[in-house]
Each structure stands twice: as C-alpha cells, then as structure tokens.
C-alpha cells in the first residue's frame, strides 16, 4: 500500500515572511486581473523556476507594517477563477521552455487559498519570450533573490549560477546512464585516508557523549558518515562549506534530519561547520575535507524502532547529501556512505505498512544483533538523480537485520518519493527519476 502524505499548507500559508521560495498575494480574481496583473504572476513563476522553486500564496494581505499576515482567504468565485488550465496556458505563453507548476486550493482554518507550486527547472532555465508593460521583458532570465525580489538576472555570478545548473543537470543525466558501471570501479578511499576520516568522526562522537549523559545505554544511536575518496584538509573554505549547507537544506519546518534553523545556528571551528542543538541529543559536522558526519540519540522508545520515522530520516538524509555535495562541485566522484544503528539488540521494528488495506495477521520483527551497519558507494550525480531509490535501498538493508522479508518493502520507493514531493516545500524535484 502506497501512502500519500498531506502538505503542511498551514505552515506555508501562515509563515508570514516572504523569502526566496515564498511570495504572498492579496485576495483577487484571476479573471478580473488585467494582462499586466497576470504578468506579475508570470514574473514570479519565472523567477522561482529559475531559482529553487517556491510557493505563491494568494489570499494573504498585508497589515499596516507591510507584513503578509492578514489571512483573508478567497471567496468561492475567486478560488474558482484560478483554474489550473487557464492559468497555466497564460503563464506558459510567456516562457520557454514551459514552467512545471500546479495550482492548489487548500482549505486552512476554514478559509480557501490558491497556491502556485512552482518547480525548479529540470534541464534548461526559463526565458521570457514576450514583453508585457513594465512587468516582463522579452529575452530575460528572471531569478528569485533572498530579499524576495523577482527580477532579471543581470549580475555575472547570477548568469553563471544558471549555466552551472544546466551543466549540473547534464552531469546528473550522465550519472544515471552510468549507474552500476561506475560502482565496479576502484575508487574506494585508501585505508590511511579512511583512518583520518575516522579520527574526525570519533571527535564528533566524543564531543556529543561529553555533553549528554546517556550512559544508560537505552537510547538507539543513528549515525551517518559520508567519505570522499581523497583527503585534503583544506579542500574547501568554511565559507564554501556553509554556502553549500544553506543551499542544500530545504524549507522543511518539522524536518527529522537537519533543520534549516540548525544551519543558521551552526558555528565554525578550524576544520568544520558544526551544529550542536540545544537539546544536545545530536551533532553534525561538515568538514573542510568534504567529510560529513551526523550522529543522533533517537527518542526513547523502550524496546522498539518505528519504521516510518526511520524511512523519513533516510529519505531526507539522502536528499540532503546529494544536494550538499553537488553544491560543493562534486559529480562523478565516488563516495562511501556508512549508516549505523547502535543499541538495537532485541528491539522490535514497528509500523511496517501492510501489503494491502485489508486486515492481515500481525507479525513481529526483531533485531538479534547489537549494531546494524549499512555501507553503500554512490556517485553524487546518482545521489541527486534518485534519492528515493538509494534511501529505499538503505532502508531495506537495515530492515533485513530485523528479519523483515523484502516483500514488505515493495512500495518503499513510491512512499519515499511521495514523502519528498509532498513534504519538501522548496525541494521541487527537477530530476527525471521523480515525476511530479
């Protein structure tokens, strides 16, 4: 049975701050708008599609201070006017190639809104093909800025970023074509290289254990390590690492892997960007060498592990590492990915979906070993192209240690894909492996 998770529309609509990925519009009727008024929506869609993707929420006005926090919603007539076909035809008449977006009409707190869900470009950036009054200029690539402005890309680094995205998409397509072949290569890190990375990992482990008294041995430990094939302690500057983190972490308020606030609150050491949240149950570090380490003490659950939270954590983790290393400029290099679950002996795995909606005999699955280790080797291009496939593979490997039959995961890829699509507000997947 494939599950479909609802988008947290309330969190999106009531965020109250415009950003690179979020824009608010007061209540209005699409059919009553002038051509210039409709062109504003074209400009915003173009800009978001050429950046990270985003949401345009219609039905939120501004207060006297200019803050988008007057939640009026739309009348029934206004809501019906945002017909996806009519709106789509108008917007895509002004762009090339066509923008991939949907128009949703969620009901939040009893009020109806129209929300444009704009996806980031998949292959080529979108150019404006026709001018319209002062809103659109022919032949211009629009981008969305951190100041919530939708404007032409006129700075050299902005044009360069669009070109780099095109090249990245081509590398990802090549990576998918070469999947499997590259795994047979001998790009494993040498033993002395791994030893250095292991020393960095152990420092992270020691730091968390000193700050949190969890010596009762009851809480399960989840750990993720990602190793490049070469060690260079100064491969990246701290600024480059932080910039890659900021671009890789997506607007996801209740993230179970890395939250955007953790990146904002992280701090620099001599060798890494480090996060140690206030609850002190987790630590993660992104090192200048390219090594990434994540360690977390999972919530106390007596004698069990919950299947679905584990699935979601792996989904977010694989999505993140693909984006992070791609932003650092990696593509076809092979990476070692190690996942570890410690203190799992005699734990029960709960929450596995049934084969069908019909009732069936309940089966209990237990782990009989103290530690689960899963090792994978992937290129960055492959990780970016299909995060749902790789996270499903890791999930199946982990569940094998709980003696779960492979047949119980037959919809894992679809469930993870649905989760990433429905729950990642910024992450509008441009990759062909994830059809939206």
What is the 3-class SS of 255-284, one letter each residue?
CCCCCHHHHHHCEECCCEEEECCCCCCEEE
**C-alpha distances in Å from residue 310, one per residue of 348, 350, 384:** 13, 10, 20
Residue 161 inside a domain? The answer is no
402 found inside a domain: yes
**Any idea what the CATH number is for the domain that residue 58 is in?**
3.30.950.30
397 found inside a domain: yes
Say if residue 137 is in the same domain as residue 286. Answer: no
Query: Are both 204 and 121 inside the same structural domain?
Result: no
- Say whether both 123 and 259 belong to one domain: no
- Look at residue 434 and tell me if it is in a domain: no
pLDDT at residue 114 greater than cutoff 80: yes
Bond from prior residue into 55 cis (ω within 30 degrees of 0): no
Is residue 207 located within the same domain as residue 349?
A: yes
Answer yes or no: is 57 within a domain.
Answer: yes
In a domain, 19, yes or no: yes
Least confident of 162-176, 271-285, 316-330: 162-176
Q: Is position 150 within any domain? A: yes
**Rounded mean pLDDT, 327-356:** 84
Number of domains in the chain: 2
Is residue 99 scored above 90 in pLDDT?
yes
Query: Residue 135 is part of which domain span?
Result: 9-154
- At 149-172, the pLDDT tens digits run 999 999 988 888 888 888 776 666
193 pLDDT tier (thresholds 50, 70, 90): low
pTM over 0.75: no
């Amino acid at each position: 049975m494939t599950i479909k998770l609802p988008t947290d529309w309330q969190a999106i609509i009531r965020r109250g701050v415009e950003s690179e990925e979020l824009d608010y519009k007061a209540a209005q009727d699409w059919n009553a708008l002038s051509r210039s008024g409709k062109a504003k929506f074209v400009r915003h869609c173009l800009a978001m599609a050429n950046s990270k993707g985003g949401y345009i929420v219609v039905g939120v006005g501004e207060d006297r201070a200019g803050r988008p926090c007057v939640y009026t919603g739309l009348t029934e007539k206004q809501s019906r006017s945002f017909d996806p076909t009519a709106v789509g035809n108008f917007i895509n008449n002004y762009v090339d190639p066509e923008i991939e977006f949907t128009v949703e009409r969620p009901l939040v707190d009893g009020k109806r809104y129209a929300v444009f869900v704009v996806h980031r470009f998949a292959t080529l950036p979108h150019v404006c093909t026709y001018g319209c009054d002062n809103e659109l200029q022919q032949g211009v690539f629009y981008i969305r800025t951190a100041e919530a402005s939708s404007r032409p890309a006129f700075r050299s680094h902005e044009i360069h970023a669009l070109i780099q995205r095109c090249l990245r998409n081509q590398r990802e397509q090549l990576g998918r074509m070469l999947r499997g072949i590259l795994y047979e290569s001998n790009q494993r890190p040498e033993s002395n290289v791994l030893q250095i990375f292991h020393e960095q990992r152990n420092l992270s482990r020691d730091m968390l254990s000193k700050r949190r008294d969890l010596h009762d041995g009851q809480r399960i430990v989840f750990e993720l390590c990602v190793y490049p094939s070469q060690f260079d302690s100064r491969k990246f500057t701290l600024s480059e690492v932080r910039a890659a983190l900021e671009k890789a972490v997506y607007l996801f308020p209740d993230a179970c892997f890395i939250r955007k606030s953790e990146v904002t609150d992280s701090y620099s050491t001599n060798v890494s960007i480090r996060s140690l949240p206030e609850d002190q149950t987790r630590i993660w570090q992104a090192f200048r060498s390219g090594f990434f380490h994540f360690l977390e003490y999972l919530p106390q659950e007596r004698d069990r592990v919950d299947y679905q939270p584990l699935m979601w954590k792996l989904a977010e983790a694989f999505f993140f590492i693909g984006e992070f290393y791609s932003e650092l400029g990696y593509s076809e290099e092979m990476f070692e990915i190690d996942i570890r679950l410690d203190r799992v002996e005699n734990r029960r795995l709960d929450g596995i979906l049934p084969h069908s909606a019909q009732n069936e005999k309940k089966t209990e699955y237990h782990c009989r070993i103290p530690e689960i280790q899963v090792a994978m080797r992937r290129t960055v291009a492959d990780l970016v192209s299909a995060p749902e496939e790789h996270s499903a593979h890791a999930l199946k490997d982990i569940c094998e240690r709980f003696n779960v039959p492979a047949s119980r995961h037959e919809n894992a890829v679809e469930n993870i894909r649905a989760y990433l699509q429905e729950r990642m507000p910024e992450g509008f997947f441009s990759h062909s492996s994830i059809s939206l």
